[in-house]
Chain A
Amino acid sequence: MIAMELYDACLKCNICELHCPVLRVTPEFPGPKNGGPGYERMKAAGKPVDTTGLDLCCGCRTCEVVCPSGLSPVDLIAEHRAEKVREQGGLSFRDNFMCHQDRLVPMASAMPGLVNSMMSAGWVRSIMDATTKVDRRRPMPKYQPGTFRAWFARRENPWKAQPAPNGQVAYFHGCSGQNQEMEMAKAAVLVLEHNGFEVVLPEQECCGVPLMANGALDEFKQRAAANVARLLPYAQKGMPIIFTSTSCSLNVKYEYPKVLGTDEAQLVADHCYDISEFLMMLHAEGKLKTDFHPVEEELPYHQPCHQRAQGIGIPAVRLVQLIPGVKAWNLDAGCCGIAGTYGFKKEKYDISMAVGSEMRDAILATKAQRVICDCETCRWQIEHLTGRTAVHPIRVLAEAYGLV
């Protein structure tokens, strides 16, 4: 399902190795060149390959971004890992649990206080650490009372009486938007409505990025098909589908058409936008409202790897730069290291922290109290590594509009 025959284009120029954030901190990882096209060549020659260590790929797609030969070593590695998971008869208990955290939300959002205090209690984390190998040092994202969808359903649609001047957009809030990052999701709705859009919420499941990252490619494919079926009616109506998590959007835009290979998946992908990307395109048409209150703030931007892999520039920075008084720039300090579920795992926590050290130093070298970043797990890692606050750029926009 992922093009494997291209491996022979690898020149062994080593640019991917030079940029790989994991290889920078551990020699246990065979690296994108060896682990991707290198192993493919061995297999094609009928030689046995040792896939130990491939698990350490964090799936950041940097190797794909930098490859001058147009290869995706990361996809080749993902295939090798998926084969391993299939051979083992599926995911481990821990990985399976981590891939299905969305199922916890109904329970956790009903009693967030209890769940959060359990998840931060030393003894609970020691047990989890010892039994399930979820690293005790990694703080868990805090659950909020209620859900974003419930909030959305309760509120009055501002475009109820008259049609929204710019039409409707569908919003894919993702797992974190539904609960832990609910305030960000609310801000996204308010900003879109402020700009004359009516927001509708398609039924949706987790985009499946943890499944992809953990090598459960077969289940990922099912997940992709389910989401495509749900988003398809919106795409067929020509409605933009807006994302506030760059990993969700990368998946739906890029991975779904790749793994499903259907016209439907491509049609859905063609309608997907990251919210900053969408608002900057609106701005290019002269349609974005710029009634911002001036804000004197330095806002360094951490570019999520899955945002960079989309090849859309840095619209988040350009967007907040429209706010008078804001000084925003791309830190350009590499991968934060968390890579979704990766940084929660006991065997990978130290790697995750080491990978993020460059970003940590770059942030701590600024005076900024807040960092902007459009990926939730990157934001959690930023806060964990630096003690500074990390917010989605849409939050800054909502503040400058005076909406929150």
Chain B
Amino acid sequence: MKRRSYTYDVVVIGGGLSGIAAAESARSRGARVALLTDGGSMLELASGCIDLMGADCSGKLVEKPWDAIDALAQEDPQHPYALVGADRVRLAMAAFQGMAAEAGISFKVDGNQANQWIVTALGHLKPTYLVQEGIGMPQKGRPVRVIGFRGMREFHPGVFAEGLRKALPDTQVTAEWVELPPHPLAPKDLTPMQVARLLDDGVYRERVTSLLKPAEPAPALVLFPAVLGLSRAAEVRAEFSRAVGAPVGEVPLLAPSLPGLRLSQVLHRYLENHGVDVYSTCRVEGAEAADGRVSAVYGEAAGRKLEFRAKAFVLATGGLLGKGLVVEGKGLKEPIFDLPVEAPQDGADHWASKEMMPTGGHAFVRCGIRTDDQLRPEGWANLHVSGRMLAGCDPYAAYCGGGVAVATGWRAGQLAGGAEE
């Protein structure tokens, strides 16, 4: 089969958070960039908030993520943050915020650059760093009112309130259901997506807001599941806030996640509007390389063979969940370049702990690709790896997934786009 050939300065493989950061950083340096994506990314399944460093190497929660990152240079020099360097991580996070703001989504940062606490659907607190606008952050001792939509299984206000009361003792939490007005599009079983779409509709929204009443005394915060609109989220929040007479916040739910999807959509649009060519449905299958230099990657889109030639490449295809790494036999494989994957020795005990949530995490989570400080696997000159695929960090134990994706993506894009060789 004949391959159709495209030539760019930089080709980024993977359209998730790290690939987006890489594409933007290469583009902003003047490179012509192609972004190859194969279906929705894990960003669409994530909270839409960006974790930076919520716990240190020992699994202890940290208040000041930057201190923990600074310490990595000594404590864990192979951690992706240490490879990138703390100063560059700072620049990357700031640049990412700037890009997102221009694309239409702003993030809240703590005034002291400390971690902030968002709440899960079960009412558990979770540390994160950049909080997407609209996501609620209840404070200890300040009354919270929780409203769920009856019929939507993903969020139960009573269960949530129970969890939040344990997480924030001495905090008054009240829970209630609201019955969504009948709508031909609202069957008994509502999904978050259906509710979000319904709420995007101004006419229907008015019927909902008329059901929302202020509570006496007014709570400090009214929390809803994160389904308050997809394309009109800011309007939905503002109108709900007026109706309940208090600030409104959203609680991120299980996948697929509206805040994650909102972020993914605006960032992809931003890249396309800034000249990045996004090739969706393009599954990269292999590469052409000699002497450690990649000259092209090839793959398939809608039944046709494509090849992309470039000066430099960024591999941001994700970990096991994103399928950047796949299970083969008893080991792990990186399917495009066949890069060596660092993994524990054979035997289940070496891969995973018997506990479900062990301190310090499971060994297999830290599997991935080892690189030098320019994020290149050993022996490769113009291939930079970023994001979840990198070895040596555990985003579930350390709450660092988003920040690692952004920082390494940024750095990889910068190097691929022509910074220091």
List residues of chain A with CB under 8 Å of any chain B CB: 13-15, 17-19, 23-27, 64-70, 250, 253-254, 257-258, 266, 269-271, 281, 284, 308-314, 318, 329-330, 332, 358
Bound: A36/B269 CA distance, A: 28
Chain B: interface secondary structure?
Answer: mixed
CB-based nearest A residue for B273:
A329
Asked if B278 and A18 sit within 8 Å, CB to CB, the answer is no
Provided the pairs A13-B256, A14-B256 are in contact, do residues A330 and B38 lie with their beta carbons within 8 angstroms? no
Q: Is the CB of A14 within 8 A of B277?
A: no
Residues of A within 8 A of B185 (CB): 25-27
Task: Choose from A24, A271, A310, A313 the contact partner of B302 (Cβ within 8 Å).
Answer: A310
Question: Which A-B residue pairs are the 5 nearest by beta carbons?
Answer: A311-B301, A311-B281, A313-B277, A15-B40, A68-B39
**Interface-centre pick from A15, A69, A70 (highest chain B CB count, 10 A):** A15
Is the beta-carbon distance between A330 and B39 smaller than 8 angstroms?
no
Chain B residues near A330: list those with CB within 8 A: 269, 272-273
Q: Residue on A with the closest CB to B44?
A: A15
**Minimal Cβ-Cβ distance residue in A for B34:** A313
B281 touches A24 (CB 8 A): no
Take A13-B45, A17-B193, A27-B186 as given contacts and tell me if A254 and B323 are in contact as well, using a CB distance cutoff of 8 Å. no
Known: A18-B261, A68-B322, A69-B39. A314 touches B256 (CB 8 A): no
Task: Kindly provide the distance from the CB of A385 to the nearest chain B CB, expressed in whole angstroms.
Answer: 16
Query: Given A24-B197, A25-B185, A67-B39, A254 and B302 touching (CB < 8 A)?
Result: yes
Closest to B6 in A: A284
> Which A residues touch B7, using CB under 8 A?
284
Contacts A27-B187, A284-B7, A329-B273: A270 and B2 contacting too (C-beta < 8 A)?
yes
Q: Give the total of B residues in contact with A, Cβ under 8 Å.
A: 44
Does B82 make an interface contact (CB < 8 A)? no
CA distance A66 to B4 in the complex (A): 23
Contact with A along B61-95 (1 / 0, CB 8 A): 00000000000000000000000000000000000
18 more contacts with CB within 8 A, not counting A66-B40, A313-B277, A313-B279, are A13-B40, A13-B45, A13-B255, A14-B255, A17-B191, A24-B197, A27-B185, A27-B187, A67-B40, A68-B40, A70-B283, A253-B302, A253-B304, A254-B303, A311-B282, A312-B301, A330-B273, A332-B265
**Are A65 and B6 closer than 8 Å at their CB atoms?**
no
25 contacts between A and B (CB under 8 A): A13-B45, A14-B193, A15-B40, A18-B44, A18-B256, A18-B261, A19-B40, A23-B194, A25-B185, A65-B280, A66-B40, A68-B41, A69-B39, A70-B38, A253-B303, A258-B303, A281-B4, A281-B6, A284-B6, A310-B302, A312-B301, A313-B34, A313-B278, A313-B279, A314-B278
Q: Which residues of B contact A (CB under 8 A)?
A: 1-2, 4, 6-7, 34, 38-42, 44-45, 184-187, 191, 193-194, 197, 231, 255-256, 261, 265, 269, 272-273, 277-283, 301-306, 322-323
CB of B154 to closest CB in A, whole Å: 10
Q: Is the beta-carbon distance between A270 and B304 smaller than 8 angstroms?
A: yes
* Contact partners of A269 in chain B: CB under 8 A: 303-304
Contact (A314, B302) CB under 8 Å given A26-B185, A27-B187: no
> Which chain B positions have C-beta within 8 A of A258?
303
**CB-based contact B282/A68 at 8 Å:** no
Minimum C-beta distance from B280 to chain A (A): 5
Query: Do B1 and A266 touch across chains, with their CB atoms under 8 A apart?
Result: yes
Q: Judging by beta carbons under 8 Å apart, are A332 and B269 in contact?
A: yes
Alpha-carbon gap, A266 to B6, bound state (A): 20
B336 to chain A, nearest CB (A): 14
Complex Cα distance A39/B194, Å? 21
Give Cα distance in the complex from A68 to B282, angstroms: 11
Q: How far is the CB of A11 from chain B (nearest CB, A)?
A: 9
Q: Which residues of B contact A253 (CB under 8 A)?
A: 302-304
Q: Could you say which of B45, B193, B302, B303 has the most chain A C-beta atoms within 10 Å of its C-beta?
A: B302
